[in-house]
Structure 1
Amino acid sequence: MTDPTQPRTRRARIKSYDGPAGGYGSLKGIAEAVVHEKTPPLPLARQLLRQNKVDGFACVSCAWPKPVKAHPAEFCENGAKATAWDMTSRRCGRDFFAAHTLTELLDWSDYDLEQTGRLTEPMRYDAASDRYVPCAWGEAFAAIGAALKALEPTSVTFYASGRASLETSYMWALMARMYGSQNLPDSSNMCHESTSVGLKQSLGAPVGTVLLDDFEVADAIFFFGQNVGSNSPRLLHDLQKAARRGAPIVTFNPLKEAGLERFKNPQSPFQMLTGDETKISSEYYQLKAGGDLAAITGLCKWLIEADDAATAANGLPVLDHGFIAEHTQGFESFAAFCRNTAWSEIERQCGLPRAEIEKAAATYASAPAVICVYGMGLTQHVLGVQNVHMVCNLLMLRGNVGRPGAGPCPVRGHSNVQGQRTVGITEKPELAPLDILKAQYDFEPPREKGWNTVEACEALLDGRMNAFLGLGGNFLRAVPDSPRIEAAWRRQKLTVQIATKLNRGHLVCGQVAFLLPCLSRIERDTQATGDQIVSVEDSSSCIHASFGDRAPASPRLMSEAAIVGEIAKASLAPNPKVDWDAWVGDYALVRDAIEATYPQWFEGFNQRFHQPGGFHRPNKARERNFSEAPGGKANFYKPTALSATGFAEAKGVFRLITLRSNDQFNTTVYGYEDRFRGVSGARDILFVNRGDMQRLGLVEGQRAGLETVADDGVERRMSDLRVTGYDIPEGCLGTYYPECNVLVPLGHHAEGSKTPASKSVPVRIVVD
């Protein structure tokens, strides 16, 4: 029998997959997760029926919107896995840590670490034994408070993962600022900061303008760099409806993703019993990684030149000239750029023939209302912000912003990552209502810019960062240049990790270090005034209530909000305007405080957040009010290049795309089945174009490595990967995140947002 406390060796099994997303494969994936986690089936089934329901809990996985009229089973494969992961019967307590040093555990895989189960009690790192040892909650808070009081506030980072509620996030941001730190990076910095910057510059709003209802009336949907089948499968229900009513779905993506090809709805008895399935993408274009700038330039060029021809012939216009004239600026300069860009250069940079781009452009022109959906395939490039600009340019040409069935739809990852930014977790002082906070709580907030994720890592490397407090997440595993960051991590005076399960980020400790276990969102959170409700914001800016009712995994767990309140009391001077104990005792008081800070968004917060579908946080761009964009109008921006990679083509240099399997969510690995890519049993895989394999003399199954092409004097190498032929564009490679973060230079990030450019990393293949 396998010992669950020991890591396991695995071998890859490769078999091509030609099935749809969903179907029996999803049911099998959920069943396997239940077995692996040893989750009680009946309690799990009960929780799954509560998931994403108005009287239940918000999924701890992705941030896709919750519909007003929920499906009987309003969860997807990965959402079910996330719930099973939280509900595991495995426990990671003092006996486990007594048996293993942290140095030993560093050799374990991400999956094996999290398979140890739910953390059960607060732990303190003991450097002499290199082990975590149990401690009392009071001991932990006193030590953390003493350490923080001894540090310069600007040297302390308060990181937040996207799972924390709006209430906890508000408390976290307020605590950091009252302490004197503006260093409030979060997981958005690593994924969608290019969206926040690019949409704000183009439209004046840092978030998408699309609501769930818009998918019901969209005449076409364009996808760019987003894997719906693995990252937001509940969206497939809306895409299936759109496809069945004849709305074209046009996809631009380097890889063929099963969810964007075909879908068999597990909730449809007809499809499950008959083998029927729905074709999702009516057009699918596999462009080079980083080639979206060129492809969208081609789309815009065709539209503009078709409009020029129509004008010359006194025909019907192709562009929405009324919208352009009334609501935008910069059109003529952008139009001239498109007209002057040669088709040959567009084709070379994106890897698509002109005829395919023109076909997609004609589809776009024939649709009165178009939604553009995109993900990290656009944002995680050196010119990721410009990718976002180009999506907006395409939409604005035909007035596809601020009307039903149209607009930009960035698909966020973690379930509340967008909401955290809404309630103050930001390193940018201009994005926080500092004057309101000053008046509300009678303190002087820091006014200087803080550190985002990349800047926090830079500060760590040069010795300016002395402490890290993490509200969830797996920071060390998620960041670029992970070996360099790990090597410097131990120099810090203090590290604090608030978590539900063990991960690699907990194994590298500062001089004083604590691992603090918290409740999950599924569990009952009982405080002084009774069982508490929390709230989250989804990708469409709708605010939802979430209520956990499962018994906690351990009687020694505290809620995230309670942990934050105790750290605040231990590290801050008393403030009569902030009663941390009262807030922890009644989260409704925190929501009242949020409403007072952000009255323009949260009016009637406590009364409205229970309603089906949540309540929508107003977005001016959705109302065609672009007054908050530079110049007071929506802006057309010209790209500075046609490739978003940020590096020049060179012989032997490939564009590495970091990938997630359909058996993981961000850094959390639920298992070793990447069903849609036909990979089972391992993650040490290098996906290579078969033509490139033949040209380089590589054969299926041989072992090879990758090395990063960079001129910063740092050697970055990943060894012993299984070469696997795959349908990927020539010159592009793929391998799994987060393992491949060893190859991503910290300085390889998006201009203007510092989002790590993990979707096009310059590498060479190395055969030992």
Structure 2
Amino acid sequence: MNDDLTNDRPLDDDLATPREYGGSSGGFGSVEGMAKVMRREMPSPGVAETLMRQNKAEGYMCASCAWGKPKHPHTFEFCENGAKATIWDLTRDRCTPDFFAQHTVTELREWADFDLEMVGRLTAPLRYDAPTDKYVECSWDEAFTGIAKELNALDPKSVIFYASGKASLESSYLYALTARFYGNNNLPDSSNMCHETTSVGLKNVIGSPVGTCTLEDFDHCDAIFYFGQNPGTNSPRFLHPLQDAVRRGCKIITFNPVREIGLVRFIDPQSPVQMLTQQPTQLSHMYLQVRPGGDIAAIMGLCKHVVAVDDARTAAGDPSVLDHGFIDQHTHGFDAFIAQARATGWDEIERHSGLKRADLEAAADVYVAAERVIGVYGMGLTQHVHGTQSIGMLVNLMLMRGNIGRQGAGMSPVRGHSNVQGQRTVGISEKPELVPLDKLATMFDFEPPRDTGHTTVDACEGIRDGSVKGFISLGGNFVRAIPDREIMEKAWQHQQLTVYIATKLNRSHLIHGRVSYVLPCLARPEEDVQASGPQTVTIEDSFSHIYGSVGRRTPASDTLLSELAIVAGIAQATLPANPKWRWDEWTADYGLVRDLIAETYPEEFHDFNARMFEAGGFYRGNAAHDRIWKTDSGKAEFTHPTTMTALGIGDAPGRFHLITMRSNDQFNTTIYGFDDRLRGLSGSRLILLMNPRDMQREGLKEGDIVTLAGDADDDTRRAVEGLKITPYDLPDGCVGGYYPEMNPLVPLWYHDEASKTPASKGVPVRIDR
């Protein structure tokens, strides 16, 4: 936002001091963060043994983020957030039927999210009883029979099968089968709300819906261009390879509106020297605070300077900067893109990116000097109306010098939930063209639905207009995570059926249909014993590697079933008998499900059972990693952006652009506490981060309480009240607030044009007093 878009009030020198964290990511702060949750939860015996096995071969795979698991793990191969997730699962607290006997659902809706989860692990299946407005205990048979009765009375096209991104490959495969046996492809998952832009954008331009890098590539890169992701909070184990890369001379160039300490300074908690000396590793060589949505312009600036350097070298008779051999053999659309880069003016680039030409040229010089470059990005790039174009621009930059499909180079999106990528791999997709339906038809003797199913946005629109009448949730906290939350909560309760498979109570369970069940499941660290003995589950990381995970802890309740057993129980009660649908056998032995996955996807999952415990996981492969481009042209595509900003709604007088953020004490919608240590913040989550210059222009001071109102181009009133103004180092015209508290401000229709991913990193808002 330019100064003249707010008001003409001159700025003086009496600006508020931005909050900041004076320490480093990692270090004793990380240790204390884990210890605080440990003291509060008093987890069950054996938590230490679980942590020591975490992310190691034949161990327990973390249920938090999807970062890779190295072949040669550290002694403590877990991070602060991963440890919190494990401790959270293994708490001694229990949410029993007696708790629900004491509280109505209406009463519980007034509780904070943190307080709901703090009640502890769910212990028994529950059915909503409308006359008393309470959840009451029921048997598993009663639950499965009741769910089946409702499903069989509904049109299959009116039911959603949602998955949170945490369920195992085995559970996910059977869940997708269940939806298709039932009659729909309505299989959205949490990827729809974060990285679906990657699945669409990358597939369009390089033929792969996932990143092309492996973990080992970070051992060989010379530069990392890093966009819109915060490893200190969202994937702390990433800090180790970043630190190693910097120490051997790799340069990290960071583009992010928020100056995140996780990309500035890091102290390795596993290094006695660093812990004793408290001397951090400085991570980012350059840190450029790009405007929200300004990445397209920033990357165009990089590309423009690379072209200028190449022109100068060519004119001088020096070797070309561009990899023309790669471009000629492997790409399409190069000439048109280069013409656009030459024609785009620096004034436009600077205006939309919020960055200076000199800084972008200096960053581009790092790219030119580096032989191998990795492009890393997160939701800061994907959650925009033109997020797909942002990804296309980053691919353009990488293609110019052949930085895709070779060691130490490539595209590396950082995924969130531990198996969100894997769920898509084994069939959880609303897009029938991504699933081998003909093979499934032969394997299971049925005719799969061929129509396109519902995305998250489609599901929400269907709930609002009444066409969606049933919702089954395999994990997650969907109602809390979606845009237009307050509007959606009102519409949600008109559904006929809601089913929630979960480990702990959350707000979604309290926003229920006319008939509703909460079905408690095992957590991943817990021992899963079926008829054939203890079971293994598997997950896929961000680098397309597959790992086996074995839980050993005693389950929180004897009544719990595994996610797979619950999915099979619902399916068996609902669907007609078919000799090829062997629910009891599949529940008894998960190895049989892995055999089905291998039969369905033989190229990627051959010998699945034999390979699942390989150190570092087994690689399922990636065609683009091998420079095989599964695009329409058979080549990697240079794209031509139609805009220099990823924002769907531009600047206007008094308008700000909100970016939603997660705290250091949080993973997705799970709130572990109220300390956002790495930003120097603590206490209430109802805060509004604001540039001190913008505060002064708006006549605001630190501690003022304001309402943040939506400023989208529609007639709907959206607002979040009671926000405390907090000075923070942000670009002009940008404000920040916590997810999911800010979700009521995100219009459901405000999403990426190609993928329908909600545009939560550039929401148009105004400040009301």
Q: TM-score range by the shorter chain?
A: over 0.9
The TM-score normalised by the length of structure 1 is 0.97
What is the distance in 2 between the residues matched to 1:354 and 1:146? 64
Kindly indicate whether residue 613 of structure 2 is the aligned counterpart of residue 614 of structure 1: no
Paired residue secondary structure (2:701): coil
Residue 299 of structure 1 aligns to a residue whose secondary structure is helix
1:522-671 alignment runs, 5 A limit: 522-626=525-629, 628-671=630-673
SS at structure 1 position matched to 2:284: coil
1:463 is matched with 466
Q: CA deviation at 1:630?
A: 2.2
Q: CA deviation at 1:711?
A: 2.8
1:39 corresponds to: 43
Aligned to 2:257: 254
Cross-structure match for 1:97: 100
Task: Give the match for residue 709 of structure 2.
Answer: 707
Aligned mates of 1:603, 1:648 — CA distance in 2: 49
Measure how far apart 1:15 and its partner are. 6.0
Deviation at 1:82, TM superposition (A): 0.3
How big is the shift at 1:315? Answer: 1.4
Superposition deviation, residue 549 in structure 1: 0.5
Q: Does 2:129 correspond to 1:126?
A: yes
Find the partner of 1:696 among 698, 708, 720. Answer: 698
Cα-to-partner distance string for 1:725-747 (whole Å, 9 max, x where unaligned): 00011100000000110000000
Unaligned runs of 5+ in 2: 1-17
Measured in 1, the distance between the counterparts of 2:107 and 2:345 equals: 57
- What code does the residue aligned with 2:451 have? E
For 1:447, the equivalent position in structure 2 comes to 450
1:438 alignment partner AA:
A
SS at match of 1:630: coil
User: Corresponding residue for 1:29?
Assistant: 33
Q: Does residue 701 of structure 2 align to residue 721 of structure 1? A: no
Q: Does 2:236 match 1:233?
A: yes
* Cα distance per residue 1:696-754 (max 9 Å; x no partner): 11000110111111232210001110000000111000000001100000000001000
Residue type at the aligned position of 1:731: G
Residues of 1 paired with 2:493 and 2:40: CA distance? Answer: 33
Q: Which residue of 2 aligns with 1:142?
A: 145
Amino acid at match of 2:247: R
Question: Tell me, which stretches of 5 or more residues in structure 1 are unaligned?
Answer: 1-13
Q: Which residue of 2 aligns with 1:56?
A: 59
Partners of 1:689 and 1:521 in 2: CA distance: 42
Partner SS, residue 484 of structure 1: helix
1:614-671 Cα offsets, whole Å, 9 max, x none, are 1001111000111x11211100001111110111210111010001001000001111
Local SS of the residue matching 2:633: helix
1:331-410 alignment runs, 5 A limit: 331-410=334-413
> Which residue in the other structure is 2:684 paired with?
682
The equivalent residue for 1:432 is 435
Please state whether the residue corresponding to 1:718 is helix, strand or coil: strand
- Give the residue type in structure 1 aligned to 2:679: R
Is the Cα contact below 8 Å between 2:19 and 2:726 reproduced in 1? no
Q: Distance in 2 between matches of 1:44 and 1:615?
A: 27
Residues in 1 aligned to 2:528 and 2:47: alpha-carbon distance in whole angstroms? 18
Partner-residue secondary structure (3-state), 1:282: strand
SS at match of 1:283: strand
Equivalent residue letter for 1:56:
G
Offset from partner CA, 1:347-373 (integer Å, 9 cap, x none):
000100000000000001100000011
Whole-angstrom CA distance in 2 between matches of 1:545 and 1:551: 19
Partner of 2:120: 117
* SS of residue matched to 1:734: strand
The Cα of 1:16 is off from its aligned counterpart by 3.6
Identity between Structure 1 and Structure 2 (%): 58
Residue 43 of structure 1 and its aligned partner are, at CA, apart by: 2.3
Listed one character per residue, the Cα deviations across residues 250-282 of structure 1 (whole Å, up to 9, x for unaligned) are: 100001101100000000011111112111111
Which residue of 1 is the match for residue 3 of structure 2? none
Cα contact 2:19–2:727 (8 A) shared by 1: no
Letter aligned with residue 28 of structure 2: Y
Specify the SS of the correspondent of 1:234.
helix
Alpha-carbon distance in structure 2 between the residues aligned to 1:314 and 1:464? 66
1:271 maps onto 2:274 in alignment: yes
Separation in structure 1 between the aligned mates of residue 307 and residue 583 of structure 2, nearest angstrom: 58
Residues 761 and 15 of structure 1: CA distance in aligned 2, closer, same or farther (over 3 Å): closer
1:521 paired residue among 483, 501, 524? 524
Per the alignment, residue 480 of structure 1 pairs with: 483
Aligned mates of 1:107, 1:512 — CA distance in 2: 21
Matched residue type, 1:764: R
**1:216 pairs with 206, 213, 219, which one?**
219
Alignment of 1:152-163 (within 5 A): 152-163=155-166
Letter of the 1:611 counterpart: E
Instruction: Check whether the contact 2:20–2:728 (CA below 8 A) recurs between aligned residues.
Output: no
Measure the CA separation in 2 of the matches of 1:36 and 1:334: 56
Q: Give runs of ≥4 in structure 1 deviating > 4 Å.
A: none
Pairing 1:206–2:209 present: yes
Aligned pair count reads 753
- Say yes or no: does 1:108 pair with 2:118: no
CA distance in structure 2 between the aligned counterparts of 1:292 and 1:20, rounded to whole angstroms: 26
1:397 counterpart letter in structure 2? M
The Cα shift of 1:547 comes to 0.3
Distance 1:592 1:365 in 2: 47
- Using the TM superposition, give the Cα deviation of residue 528 of structure 1 relative to its aligned residue in structure 2, in angstroms: 0.3
Equivalent residue in structure 2 for 1:293, among 277, 292, 296? 296
* Counterpart position of 1:18: 22
Could you tell me how far apart the structure 2 residues matched to 1:681 and 1:345 are?
A: 40
- Could you tell me whether the CA contact under 8 Å between 2:649 and 2:712 is conserved in 1? no
The whole-number CA distance in structure 2 between the counterparts of 1:15 and 1:130 is 44
- Give 3-state SS (helix, strand or coil) of 1:632's partner: coil
Aligned partners of 2:682 and 2:709: how far apart in 1?
Answer: 25
Q: Distance in 2 between matches of 1:222 and 1:15?
A: 26
* Secondary structure at the counterpart of residue 46 of structure 2: helix
Please tell me whether residue 168 in structure 1 is matched to residue 171 in structure 2: yes
Shift of 1:38: 2.5
What secondary structure does 1:242 align onto? helix
Deviation (angstroms), 1:384: 0.6
Partners of 1:366 and 1:16 in 2: CA distance: 33
